[in-house]
Every structure is written in C-alpha cells, then in structure tokens.
Chain A
C-alpha cells in the first residue's frame, strides 16, 4: 500500500518498484479506453436560422393583400395582373378551399408550397417568417384542357387525390389557397410551360411575403432556432437527394431568393445536374423548389 498526499508542491519525484509502476500504468490505460467510448461531444455551430411562425385561421379573396388579425386577405386583381409575368400563362384563378370543403374538383396538382419569407439574411441563415395554417396548391391545364402532368395526373376530387398528413402534404386542418393556371396549348410537356406556371405562382406569393415580412416578432406563435452543427469525431454522413432533372416537369430550382420560391434560384438542369451541396438549414429554409 502506498499513500501520498501533497498540499503544495512544485516538483515531486516518486520512485517505486517496477511491478507497482506497471500496475499503475495499466489501470490508467484501461481508464483511457473507457473514456474513448463516450468522448466529450464537440459541436461546432456553423450558422443559425431563426424561424418565426405566424398563424392564419382564415384566407379571403379581397380588394387588397394584407395579414390582419390572423386573417390573410389576397388582392383579387393579382390573378389578372399575373398573366403579364410570362406570356405562356393565359389565365390565373385564385380559390380558397377550407378544411371541410375538400370534396371539390381540382386540376393536376403541380406543387404544394408553404408561404415563408426572408426577413433578414439569405436562405439558411438570418430570420424567416413562416405562415402556419395554410398552404398553396398550384394546379393547371393547358388551353385545350389537357392536364399539366407527365407520368400520371392527380386531377380529380381533392380529398381522394392527396395523401394528407405526409411530410409533403398539409394536415387536415390547413386552409388551401388554390392557384390554378391555364398555359399555352401544348407547352405542358415542354420545359417552359410548367416553369412559367411556377414563376407566375411565385410572383403572387411574393405579394403575400411582403406582408408577412412586416409582422412584428412578438406576434409569432412559435419561434425556433435551427443550427447547422458539425460534430467532430462522429461518423461523417452525407445525405444525397436524387431529384428530377430532365425538364418538362422534372426540374428543381436550387437556392431561390425567398423560401420555397422560384425567383433568384438556379435550375438543377442549368447546373448540369451535377451534385451541389446544401446545408441542413438551407434545405429547411426552402432552398429547394420543386417544379416536378
């Protein structure tokens, strides 16, 4: 038995028989290997995204665009003016579908888009305002009444044509703003047709985003901070999303100016379909818009 207690010392030399030293060292190395199983987690924060959610419980087609007392008003004239954005789009119709009214006919569903807007910074960092309680359904046909779809069409009774409650679809309580477009005949199977429909839809949403940006932070019903972190020493994992990039409804817009928007982004086709890296925050913040 060896006992040693030192209160204050500058340089201490200890001598002991070899077998004791071996024993002491052995115990030490065992402890080290135990530590290696659960090393201290080093997290490095790369960037932060502040996410503020605002709720709406009604959507009304009105004379102006505004968000007031949890009601979203949309200017009915936007539909008429939207056709000036791209000559391929001939007609735009706005319609509100309430949660209990889903037994209605809809044209082929081209995309489901949440409404969110950048208040500070670019996609993936800064502050984003998100509208909870409603989503946008972009639907459409061409001038001859042909559904804009490539491989199977989702036109029909809304309640039968959507699997509600999936990651990519709204829940049962959400209000649907249906933006229906009519595009030039025959362009539905070309790249420019569906793209024009998405551009027009994005232009209308930009008006709502302008209003969403004005809402004060204290009115948010939910706030979260998303952090891009790297965890040193953990197995490195890469997520790969293989997305459509063949044109004519097989297209994605990468890193637009507004969350889930079109404007300012680059098409995955124009990027040559080669892999491009996005951070988790950039994906959460709507860095991928689906034209598919």
Chain B
C-alpha cells in the first residue's frame, strides 16, 4: 500500500489546496499555519514524528486541528498516531483521508474521520486526482471542527 494515482496530491493540488483557501478566508477562525509532516517508512519513526506534531500543536496553543493524509494503508498508522497525540493533549482534530476498505488502525480519538473516496469503490482507481480533498469535504470538516471546539468551550 502507499500513494496511488487517485490519492496522490499533485504540485497543482498543493497550490490550489481548497483546505488552505477556505480556512484562511473564514473570518471566524485564526489559522496559525500549515504543518507539513512526512510519513516515514519505519513504524518507530512514524511514532517519532507523531510525537513531534503533538508537542508542536501544544506549543502553538491551538484550539483545533484539521489533518489530512494522502495515500492509504501504512500511511494510516501515522495518521492515527497524529490524532492520538493531539487527542491526549485535549486538542480536537478532524481527519480527512481515503479510508479504502477501512483504516488499518484506529484509536479512541478518531471519532470524526471523513472518507475522501469519490469513486465509491474502496480501492485505488488509478485515476489521477480522483480521491483528493475537495471544497465539499473541507466545508464538512470545518463544520465538525467548529462544533467540537465549541464543546470544549473555545
């Protein structure tokens, strides 16, 4: 497993990223920045980077996190670890990813995951750009995050 054509985010995708564009223009939110975190091969390294992300979010004092992962399979090990590290620190997070036929790992903090599967096949379709984040997914995720942050009194 890994990153296939349909979940791969092209250079064009990053420049047009609907997540960044919508959140930065939402006047009810304060976007502190975009953290890019790599997904390493080794499991121990995956937990290493997840811990760093948790500490970073804690240091920034953020009220909520929107996290999305490209690819699926072993990428979901770090994806789950990131959300756990945030959850342990009481930071609500909404995750977006191509779940395929279900995530390979899950934990108690992963209540709100949005599946980016557009083809509805649950597998790699080999069509470039098909299963990536769109405006619709972003709006949905922001709505959930706002609700979660409100529940936490922020």
A residues near B (Cβ < 8 Å) are 41, 108-109, 111-114, 116, 135, 149-154, 160-163, 166-170, 228-247, 249-250, 252, 254, 259-260, 268-269, 271-280, 282-290, 292
Partner of A237, one of B62, B69, B134: B62
> A240: nearest residue on chain B (CB-CB)?
B67
Among A167, A228, A229, A278, chain B packs the most CB atoms within 10 A around the CB of: A167
Assess whether B82 is in contact with A242, with CB atoms less than 8 Å apart.
yes
Bound Cα distance from A272 to B41, whole angstroms: 11
B contact residues, total (Cβ < 8 Å): 74
B36 near A254: Cβ-Cβ < 8 Å: yes
> Which B residues are CB-close (under 8 A) to A160?
127
Contacts of A150 in B (CB 8 A): 2-4
Q: List B31-50 residues whose CB lies under 8 Å from chain A.
A: 31-41, 45, 48-49
Q: Would you list the 10 A-B pairs with minimal beta carbon distance, nearest first?
A: A245-B38, A168-B13, A273-B38, A152-B4, A242-B69, A154-B5, A169-B129, A151-B2, A234-B30, A240-B67
A-B residue pair count with CB separations less than 8 angstroms: 281
Which residues of A lie under 8 Å from residue B143 when comparing CB positions?
A: none
**Is B104 interfacial (CB-CB < 8 Å)?**
no
- CB pair A167–B62 under 8 Å, yes or no, is no
Q: Which residues of A contact B124 (CB under 8 A)?
A: 151-152
Is there contact, CB below 8 Å, between B126 and A154?
yes
Are the C-beta atoms of B37 and A243 separated by less than 8 Å? yes
Also in contact, A244 and B39, with CB within 8 A (given A113-B10, A235-B149, A250-B2): yes
A235 touches B3 (CB 8 A): no
Task: Verify if B20 is at the interface (C-beta below 8 Å from A).
Answer: yes
User: How many Å lie between the Cα of A249 and that of B45 in the bound state?
Assistant: 19
A168-B45 contact, Cβ under 8 Å, with A151-B3, A237-B29: no
**In the complex where A242-B37, A276-B35 touch, is A112 in contact with B71 (Cβ < 8 A)?**
no
Q: Which residues of A contact B52 (CB under 8 A)?
A: 274-275
> Main secondary structure on chain B at its contact with chain A?
mixed
Q: Residues of A contacting B21 with CB < 8 Å?
A: 284
Identify A275's interface contact among B14, B37, B128, CB under 8 A: B37
How far is B142's CA from A244's CA once the two chains are assembled, in angstroms? 24
With contacts A237-B30, A275-B56 known, what are 9 further pairs, Cβ within 8 A?
Answer: A237-B31, A238-B64, A241-B34, A241-B37, A244-B38, A254-B36, A286-B15, A288-B11, A292-B8
Per-residue A-contact encoding for B105-131, CB less than 8 Å = 1, 0 else: 000000000000010000010111110
Task: Name the one of B3, B127, B149 contacting A244, with C-beta atoms under 8 angstroms.
Answer: B3
Contacts of B28 in A (CB 8 A): 234-235
Shortest C-beta distance, B56 to chain A (Å), equals 5
User: Which residue of the partner chain, among B9, B35, B41, contacts A292 with CB atoms under 8 Å?
Assistant: B9
The answer on a CB contact under 8 Å between A166 and B38 is no
| A-contacting residues, B73-107, CB 8 Å | 75, 78-79, 82
The reply to whether A237 and B1 form a contact with Cβ atoms under 8 Å apart is no
List residues of chain B with CB within 8 A of the CB of A161. Answer: 5, 126-128
- CB <8 Å contact, A236 and B63: yes
Q: In the complex, which residues of chain B have a beta carbon less than 8 angstroms from the beta carbon of A237?
A: 23, 29-32, 62-66, 145
Contact pick for A259, options B15, B57, B69, B146, CB 8 Å: B15
A283:B3 contact, CB within 8 angstroms: no
CA distance A275 to B33 in the complex (A): 11
Contact of A242 among B2, B6, B31, B68 (CB under 8 A): B68
B23 to chain A, nearest CB (A): 6
Beta-carbon contact of B32 and A238 below 8 Å: yes
Complex: how many Å from CA A161 to CA B1? 20
Residue of B nearest to A247 (CB): B41
Given contacts A234-B30, A249-B3, A283-B15, contact A243 B126 (CB under 8 A): no
Give the chain A neighbours of B35 by CB distance below 8 A: 238-241, 275-278
